[in-house]
Amino acid sequence: MRYNCYHKHTHYSNIITPDSIVKPIDYAKRAIELGHTSLCTTEHGYAGNIFEYYDIAKEYNLKFVFGIEYYYVNDRFEKDKSNSHLMILAKNKNGMKQMLKIMSEANKTGFYYKPRIDKQLLFSLDPRDVVVTSTCVISYINKHDDYEENFVKPIVDYFGGNFYLEIHDNTHPMQVEYNKKILELHKKYHIPFIHATDSHYIYPEQDKDRTEFLNGKNIYYPEEEGFILDYPDSDAIFERYEKQGVFTKEQVKSALKNTWIIDDFEDIHMDKEVKMPSIYSSLSIEEKHKKLRNILNEQWKKEREEVPKKLHKKYIDETKFELDIIEKTSEVSTVDYFLLNYEIIKRGKEKGGILTRTGRGSAPSFYINKLLGFTEIDRIGSPIPLYPTRFMSVSRILESRSLPDIDFNTADPAPFIEASKEILGEDNVYYMTAFGTMQASEAFRNYCRAINLKMDEYNEIGKNLDYYKNDSKWGSIIKESEKFIGVIDSVSPHPCAFLLLDKPISEEVGVIRVGNDKNVTYCAVIDSGTSDKWKFLKNDLLTVTVWDIIDKTFKLIGKPIPNIRQLDKLLDEKVWKLYEDGITATLNQVGQEATSNMVTKYKPQSVSELSAFVAAIRPGFASMLQTFLNRESFSYGIPEFDELLKSSDNFCLYQENAMATLIYAGFPEDETYDILKQIAKKKGDMQKIKDRFITGFVAKTGSEKNAYKVYQILEDSVRYSFNSSHSLSVAYDSLYGAFLKANYPLEYFTTVLNIYEGNTDMTAKIHHELPYFGIKILPIKFRMSQAHYTPDKQSNSIYKGLASIKYLNVQVAEELYTLKDNPYIDFVEVMVDIEHNTSCNARQMEILIKLNFFEEFGKNRTLHLIYEKFKERYKKTHKEKTRLERIAEIREFVSSLSDESLPPQDQVFFEKDVLGYVESKYPMLDDAYALILDIDKKYTPKLTVYKFKDGTEKVFKISKKEFIKDGEEQLIIGDVIKVLKTDMKPRKKLVDGKWIDLEETEEWLAGVSVVKRKNNI
């Protein structure tokens, strides 16, 4: 007997509560196997990816049914943890919208551990548009005593015939008891039954997989033991009900038959048409085009000031050419894209938003994007050829019905997000959702945990699964673990993609709450790939640190960020010298050691050279990279071709080089990018393209041999060639930074030190470059240091910021800085002032004292003793007379002290703790003395030590035999040691269960003595 399986769960439920490893498609396949006719979206608390469900349903010719197993409480504004489950199905599209709306509301206003709907939301649904069922054993009926008065009766009254009592065939005693209760209700209220499977997997044997998935995550549901959660045929269902012995066969039959109500649901239709939001929906398409033309005219009036007069006509013609593309693609409303983003970007900038002057991808190759303020790159005046059709062409937009796509790179996306919401509406802009899936390594680890393997056993294996695939022990475990690969097990907001829609997203797509209490983001339940497929408008707002650096450095200098034309004129010898000398930390594209080494070899001298460099260092170009970096002369020996490749040192480096060659051979510009893609994918009539090229090229040059040769080069180069507007953009990003570093190093380094405050690796790299500019970092000092790193022009140095120190903060730093001009006769006066006029507490005072912040008043050990005394004797609540007496007493104490520093051991240990690194050095001490900062005892003991003499940190290994003697560890963190002897030994690695020697070596401690044990300071 056929039935509809409407109550089920897939891995989409896992983002609410880990529950299942099967996927929507598994249900579709099973439905076909059983001759069933529908696929329903039900998940816990939401409906999963409804677009994926819809596509699968169409593919398998099943009816798409929209349902959600909600969490339900009486009042969603109460902190009520006792939520129960409640199943609702949409009978039509209207019902689906209402259901999405209350689901979104449950996430926005009803969230308490779970997204919860309540009475108010439930009874806001139109009773004609939905079907409600009582759901599983976690129903309100099974959880609350007032279920008749407060749940069943009101629902029957309101939803009438659209309410069903859901029964399950599980033979678990809990289910059997519950079914008896349901039977009573059925008799009393004549509410019809409906059968549900509550499937969490397809076949009974998959119960094991699900349990292992959960156990691997350390989750156990003991109360579920004995529940079968499969998707069975009806024979099995009848059998199980018989075992339960609660319902008659007739009752079971009617319960199954009642699932046929789904057959009468409306066939919900969802379309894949372009969903371009419009902010001018009342205007006709012609009026919108006119509006855009007016904006472009206004912008051109400003732009032309910077363009030589004789070129004006060219700029106007090129703009018209692009505008023509927009007008010819009015079918997909491209004009709305530009009008909308023009307003968003303008408003975002007004709100203080910083957008890159460059861009990403092909966007800068469209001049209209410059006029509208999306980029500063002028493709018409660019040193390397850029083609507008690379960004957008009529045929591409109309054939693929794709939307234009610009990545907006920002220093901080917040102002642009706000602007988008202001312009389109609060409910019309949301972050997209990113579902996290288990990768091979995590799948393996999860399985190992599930079968109770120990972490040290499988840890090394997990790092190199490919290697162990055929291993006799691990091979089968790896194979078994693959069932978890691709299973969704987390969710996060997409890092940069936003959904924009001119209809309420909470009803059209649904909104879920993602993150934890401290960091909540409301996301549209759609991922970026699905959005592309279904043609929703997606805006990418990326955060780009280089632009944060550029913005903040210019602010520090007190100058506006120059536009690209202005920057071109500012690029002097000093700038290019930085690349040559490898002073490239924090510069875009060349900040890593490997790329820095390459750029010192190549020594770019112009924007186009740096842009070519960016394209050349991509992996695809590897075979020719050395020739390029060494600037060995290179030519294909075909003069016409060399001319076309002039902008990239005769290499066919950019896609635009190939496009130019096709244009040269007679192809219209707007076809060239698509032809390149065809050549790359070897799709379409390749022979026809080739013939057309050969004919065209021969017509221009007369040489058939060269024509074939060039075509071959094009074919080869499509594999690696790079988009030149992207290379040019990131080259300029790099140059903005290099210009600042070369000309305003003090301000530049101050900015990057602040931006990378917590990043010790980056801070170390930055420190290495400071001597190049003769800049020093000064330790924190009273009267000088502020909250953040601050430049001191006179001494060409940078004061460390107080806020970067553990336990200190911006407020205290600023308060202390206000005392900088006060004359103090002694430290006692300073302490009194700080006590009365700042929020600096005892712990913060002690840190500052020990870090020699108050050096002008004495050495730190002595100042610390004075402060101890002060804390004990002086209170600001004392009467004035007492205070004066106590001050005198403290001064008396001070006069008894001699001026002393903390011992090196204590000082070093303390600095490591609060600064993250050690500042002090002791050049007069012997090189063998060191302090143990850390001991890693996981494998062979590994010591991190600090060497007093030169202030460097070092790592030593030590044999277990040497480390533990007579059952006692010989060294502890904080010990001052003398290194007596070290050995160099090869590093080892676990391969195939055996330790093998590597070529690299590491230093081992062979002889060591403890000079001083750590005492508490």
- Binding residues (CB under 5 A) for Zn ion: these are 69, 85, 136, 138, 198
Task: Return the closest-CA partner of residue 376 out of 519, 547, 257.
Answer: 547
Q: Which residue has the tokens 């199943």?
A: 87
**Which of 121, 136 has the CB closer to Zn ion?**
136
Going by the DSSP 8-state scheme, the letter that residue 379 receives in this structure is: G
CB under 8 Å to 602, separation ≥6 — which residues? 579, 609, 613, 628, 629, 631
Backbone dihedral region for residue 796 (phi beyond 0: left; psi -120 to 50: alpha; all else: beta): left
Strand pairing category for 929-936 and 976-991: antiparallel
CA distances from 220 to 170, 224, 964 (A): 19, 9, 40
The encoded tokens of residue 489 equal 């097990």
- Distance of closest approach, residue 84 Cβ to Zn ion, in angstroms: 9
The encoded tokens of residue 797 equal 């140095």
Q: What is the DSSP string of 212-247?
A: HHHHHTT---GGGTT-------HHHHHHHHHHHTSS
- Distance of closest approach, residue 267 Cβ to Zn ion, in angstroms: 25
**Which of 69, 118 has the CB closer to Zn ion?**
69
The encoded tokens of residue 280 equal 């001018």
- Distance of closest approach, residue 116 Cβ to Zn ion, in angstroms: 14
- Distance of closest approach, residue 57 Cβ to Zn ion, in angstroms: 20
* 409 neighbors 451 (Cβ within 8 angstroms): no
- Distance of closest approach, residue 58 Cβ to Zn ion, in angstroms: 25
Query: How many other C-beta atoms are found inside a 10 Å radius of the C-beta of residue 269?
Result: 8
- Distance of closest approach, residue 97 Cβ to Zn ion, in angstroms: 23
- Distance of closest approach, residue 136 Cβ to Zn ion, in angstroms: 4
Query: How many other C-beta atoms are found inside a 10 Å radius of the C-beta of residue 235?
Result: 9
**Which of 35, 222 has the CB closer to Zn ion?**
222
CA distances from 950 to 391, 455, 778, 918, 930 (A): 56, 39, 18, 11, 10
Backbone dihedral region for residue 362 (phi beyond 0: left; psi -120 to 50: alpha; all else: beta): alpha
Give the CA count within 13 Å in the CB-facing half-sphere of 914.
23
- Distance of closest approach, residue 335 Cβ to Zn ion, in angstroms: 47
**Which of 49, 725 has the CB closer to Zn ion?**
49
CA distances from 431 to 99, 413, 495, 829 (A): 21, 12, 8, 54
- Distance of closest approach, residue 164 Cβ to Zn ion, in angstroms: 15
- Distance of closest approach, residue 360 Cβ to Zn ion, in angstroms: 44
User: What single letter denotes the amino acid at residue 599?
Assistant: V
Task: Return the closest-CA partner of residue 541 out of 672, 654, 405.
Answer: 405
The beta strand positions in 241-293, using DSSP E, are: none
- Distance of closest approach, residue 64 Cβ to Zn ion, in angstroms: 19
**Which of 20, 596 has the CB closer to Zn ion?**
20
**Which of 5, 491 has the CB closer to Zn ion?**
5
* 192 neighbors 165 (Cβ within 8 angstroms): yes
- Distance of closest approach, residue 812 Cβ to Zn ion, in angstroms: 52
**Which of 81, 989 has the CB closer to Zn ion?**
81
- Distance of closest approach, residue 199 Cβ to Zn ion, in angstroms: 8
**Which of 40, 256 has the CB closer to Zn ion?**
40
**Which of 106, 851 has the CB closer to Zn ion?**
106
**Which of 71, 391 has the CB closer to Zn ion?**
71
Question: Cα 444 vs. chain centroid, distance in angstroms?
Answer: 24
**Which of 136, 429 has the CB closer to Zn ion?**
136
* 1004 neighbors 940 (Cβ within 8 angstroms): no
**Which of 231, 315 has the CB closer to Zn ion?**
231
Q: What is the DSSP string of 824-866?
A: -SSHHHHHHHHHHH----HHHHHHHHHTTTTGGG--HHHHHHH
Beta partners for 514?
Answer: 521
**Which of 196, 803 has the CB closer to Zn ion?**
196
**Which of 71, 435 has the CB closer to Zn ion?**
71
**Which of 88, 571 has the CB closer to Zn ion?**
88
- Distance of closest approach, residue 176 Cβ to Zn ion, in angstroms: 17
- Distance of closest approach, residue 20 Cβ to Zn ion, in angstroms: 10
Beta partners for 72?
Answer: 84, 117
CA distances from 796 to 745, 746, 763, 770 (A): 9, 7, 18, 10
**Which of 213, 664 has the CB closer to Zn ion?**
213
Strand pairing category for 942-947 and 953-957: antiparallel
Q: Which residue has the tokens 């009438």?
A: 160
- Distance of closest approach, residue 7 Cβ to Zn ion, in angstroms: 6
**Which of 113, 772 has the CB closer to Zn ion?**
113
- Distance of closest approach, residue 235 Cβ to Zn ion, in angstroms: 23
CA distances from 506 to 14, 124, 195, 801, 955 (A): 21, 15, 31, 45, 55
* 126 neighbors 98 (Cβ within 8 angstroms): yes
- Distance of closest approach, residue 66 Cβ to Zn ion, in angstroms: 16
**Which of 114, 357 has the CB closer to Zn ion?**
114
* Sign, Cα dihedral of 639, 640, 646, 652: negative
CB under 8 Å to 576, separation ≥6 — which residues? 603, 604, 605
* 334 neighbors 397 (Cβ within 8 angstroms): yes
